[in-house]
Each structure stands twice: as C-alpha cells, then as structure tokens.
Chain A
Amino acid sequence: MKFLIHSFQSTIRFLLILSLSAMVMLTFGDVLGRRLFNTPIYGAHDLTEHLMALIVFCGLPLLTSVRGHLAVDLFDRFIMQPKMAWWRACISLMVATILFLIGYQFAVAAKEAVYIQEVSQELLIPRYYLYTVMSVSGFISGVAALLPESNNNMNNSDSAFTKSPLSEESGL
C-alpha cells in the first residue's frame, strides 16, 4: 500500500515537472518562433491552458495531503491545542466535502461536455478529457483531506514538498 502511494506520488511529481517544463518551452518557442522566423506555434495559448489545468489538478491531491493550502495562522497557538482537535477535524471534513463536490461537479461537467460538444477555442480539443481528470483529482484530494497529514519525507533528495519559506508561505 505504502509502495503504491509512493509510486503514485512520484508519477504525479514527474507529471508536474513535465507540464511546467513544457509550458516554459512552449512560451519560449512561440516567442522566438514568431520574432525570428515569423512562425508562431498555432495553439500555443490553448496548450498552455491545458498544461495549466493539468498542473493544478495533478498538484491538488499532493497539496491537500501535505496540508499546504494557504491559511491564516494568527491563532495557531490556540487552535493547535489538543483540546481543539475536534475543530481541526471539522476543518478537514469541510475541506473534504468541498473537494468531493468539485469532483462530482466535474463528473457532471464531463458528461455535459460530450452532449454540448464543448471544445477548446483554438485546437478544438474536447474538454471532456480534462474534466474527467479534474473530477478524479477532486475525489482523490477529498480522500487526502480526510487521511492524516502526509509528511512526505520518503525521499530526502527530492523533498520539495517539505515546508520551505517559498512553498509554505503564500510567497506573495
């Protein structure tokens, strides 16, 4: 089981790195192509949007499992006390409910996208595919919100998800 979760997480990380690199290369290639050779990449914007959707919904389960969502920690000293455990459980439940709702709504959206022939603006890629990914991601994230916080220290060499100032804070 542990092995399964670990390889699942590794796959997602790999996908994240791949999507983000692809985004950089796409913009780079599009601008250079247009400036230097007068040949922009048709659909570059469209692909970027798809990659972004992939990044967000691949990252969502991981972010949820390490409790990485932006939160105001003003009253932490009070809320982190053992006697406030019930409230922290309520929070997890609320987060999970909303994530399940997102998963359900995207399942509905995927079904409708087929019916109304929803496609992307430039490349006419059916929305159905990504809506399905988003739905699945919503459900997995909901489960992740209910499971205990994952420390994610299985592999120290790529411990990007351990909390550093850059990722823990809003960074903004």
Chain B
Amino acid sequence: TTFTLSNWVPPTHFITTDILNVWAEQVQTATEGRVEIRMLPKPVGTPAQHWELARKGIVDITWGNFTYEPDRFKSIWFAEMPFNGEDVEASSVALWDTYEKYLASNPTYADVKMLGVGVLGPGVINHGSKAIVSTEDMANQKIRMGGPIQKRLIEELGAIPIAAPATKAYELLAGQVLDGSLHSLESVVNFRLTEQLSHHTLIPGGFYDGTFFLIMNEGKWKRLSAADQATVMSVSGTVFSRLWGQVFQREIDQAYAQLREEGHQFSQPTEELMAKIGLVRQQMIQDWATEHDSYGIEQPLEMFDYYRQRYTDLSK
C-alpha cells in the first residue's frame, strides 16, 4: 500500500530530510515494502489545516503543530508551558507516554491514528537590538508569537504580541514591524533570522514549548493488517518521538554553537523576570485546569504531573 503524506516545510528542511524521510524509510524497510509513503510535491493545505487533511482522509498522513489551531487541542496545552525542560528527547517521549495514557481516547483526537508526537524544545526570547533580562526590558516591545501560551506570556510581561507564522518573521523583522520574536535557537538559524535576531535570552527550562503530531487517517490505518499495523508502530510511536527529539536536540545544539561563533549575545534573565514568568505560569496552569470540562479531561493536573514525572525519569 502506498500512503500519501503532505509536508509543509521545504524539501531541504531537516524535518523533511532527517525526520520524515528517515521514518518513511524505516516504515518501508520494516514492512518489507508492503507499506510505502509518497510525499506530495507540495503541501495541499495551510499548516493549520494539516490535522483536518488527514482526519478527512484527503491525505493519508500529515504532521503539524497542535496549537496552529488555537482552541481545538486545549487538552495538550500543558506541554507548551514555561519551564517544561530543555531535554528535547525526554520531553518528546514523555509527551508520547502522556498522550497514550490520558489523551488517546479523548474525542478531540478521534478519527486519526497518532503515529508520534514531538516538541519544539526550549523557547527563547530573541531580540534584534538589546538583551532582554528584566520585565522592564520587555515593556512595549513588539514580539512575534505563534500560539495561545506565547501570547499570554508576552502580554503579561508587558510586551506587545504580534501573531505571525515563523515563516513571516524575516519580512516582519526587516520591516521593523517586530522588535523581537519567539523561537527556539534552531528556528532562528533555520528561518535565516541570524542577522536580524542577535540577542538571545535563554530562560532556564524554556520560556515556552511547542507540540507537534504525526497522524494518519484512521480509516486508512484500519485497512492495514494487524501484523502490518504492529510493524509500522514498531518504528513509530515512542521510536518516532525519540527520533524527533534527537534530531531537534542536535539542531538546537548546532544552532547554539553557530550563534556563539557568530558573536551573538546570550543572556540570562534576572531573578525578577524568572519570578514573573513563574507567576504567569502558575496562573496559566490554574486557568487551564479549571477549564477542564471544555476539553473533557477529568484530572488535568494529574496528567500534567505525570508528564513532568516522565520527563524527570527520562532526562539525564
């Protein structure tokens, strides 16, 4: 069987070459060629439409970011909170375990087969002209952000949030529409923003995180024999999440080294800024937990604790 895959990053991007292609090859080898994956030459929808594309079976397999649809996947917001940790592999695998245990049966995730999840890695505050170390430095800065958690963080720290996809950051920074932009270090390099973002504030544990999925249309999945399903899962699930985490970690480490070499300025936040972020985080988690009825999770804080525990167990 050949499955179509819609991919919305360019063919040269490391997600294509080092994650999706590698995984597709593993699937093909493991099933001895019974399952093949054909990547379409261009994405057949916006990044935000990629969940629906697979759910409706227009494309068989897609990947994407959960919070590109701002309200839909509220149940997974816990994994995008500040201070979730800097070990990307551990975060990604912990998220997979949490998904399996708490979310797989949630109606929000119905009609698709989850093949793997992953996280972005620690979010960094990047600025074009000055080091952001205190809340004072943040005041009135126009900062690009890409999700509900990031928006709230920026607002509560007194800056001005501007919503735009990371792909637009270059144009907006060049046009001085933005003063700064939230990215992981890897994205600063991969979206070619090194010239425009020269100051990076590394928040211990991460300023925020991002969550990603790899899914398959459930109807298509069910057409595979039980044996083939098991074989596909032997290279997906935990294995995919680990691959994802490893590749992202490698990219982040390389980006860090490269930016260092290019003379970028790295700063640490003041205790005051850390305390403020911690306060906002507390508030966000509380608000998120009280809303649990809207996303159908009985004990959201228990789920969050489980995620934190898995991360601690997995990270060295």
Contacts and interface: CB of A to CB of B under 8 A. Distances in A.
- Note whether A and B contact each other (Cβ less than 8 A): yes
Interface of A: 34, 38-40, 42-43, 45-46, 116-119, 121-122, 124
Interface in B51-69: 52, 69
Interface residues of B, number: 14
Contacts of B162: 40, 42
Interface string B281-303: 00000000000000000000000
B140 A124 contact: no
A155 B48 CA distance: 45
Contacts of B224: none
Nearest to A117: B71
A40 B163 CA distance: 12
A116 B69 CA distance: 9
Interface string B174-213: 0001000000000000000000000000000000000000
Closest 7 CB pairs of A and B: A122-B163, A117-B71, A119-B71, A117-B72, A116-B72, A119-B70, A121-B163
A40 B70 contact: no
B72 A118 contact: yes
Given A116-B72, A118-B72, A34 B177 contact: yes
B72 A38 contact: no
Contacts of B48: 121
Contacts of B72: 116-118
B69 A118 contact: yes
A34 B142 contact: yes
A124 B163 contact: no
B160 interface: yes
18 contacts: A38-B160, A39-B160, A40-B142, A40-B162, A42-B160, A42-B161, A42-B162, A45-B163, A46-B163, A117-B69, A117-B71, A118-B69, A118-B72, A119-B70, A119-B71, A121-B48, A121-B70, A122-B163
A124 B142 contact: no
B36 to A, nearest CB: 30
Nearest to B160: A40
Interface string B123-143: 000000000000000001010
B140 A38 contact: yes
A119 to B, nearest CB: 5
A38 B72 CA distance: 32
Contacts of A38: 140, 142, 160
Contacts of B161: 42
Nearest to A116: B72
Contacts of B69: 116-119
A6 B72 CA distance: 42
Nearest to B69: A118
Contacts of B140: 38
A46 B161 CA distance: 13
Interface in B116-175: 140, 142, 160-164
A132 B312 CA distance: 48
Nearest to B155: A42
A159 to B, nearest CB: 38
A124 B177 contact: no
Given A39-B160, A122-B163, A124-B71, 13 more contacts: A34-B142, A38-B142, A38-B160, A40-B142, A40-B162, A42-B160, A42-B161, A43-B163, A45-B163, A116-B52, A116-B72, A118-B72, A121-B163
Nearest to A31: B177
Contacts of A42: 160-162
The listed residue with most A CB atoms (<10 A of its CB), out of B70, B142, B160, is B70
A145 B270 CA distance: 65
A73 B1 CA distance: 46
Interface string B52-96: 100000000000000001111000000000000000000000000
A119 B140 CA distance: 27
B110 to A, nearest CB: 11
Contacts of B71: 117-119, 124
A133 to B, nearest CB: 20
A62 B163 CA distance: 34
Contacts of A121: 48, 70, 163
Contacts of A122: 163
Contacts of B163: 43, 45-46, 121-122
A124 B164 CA distance: 14
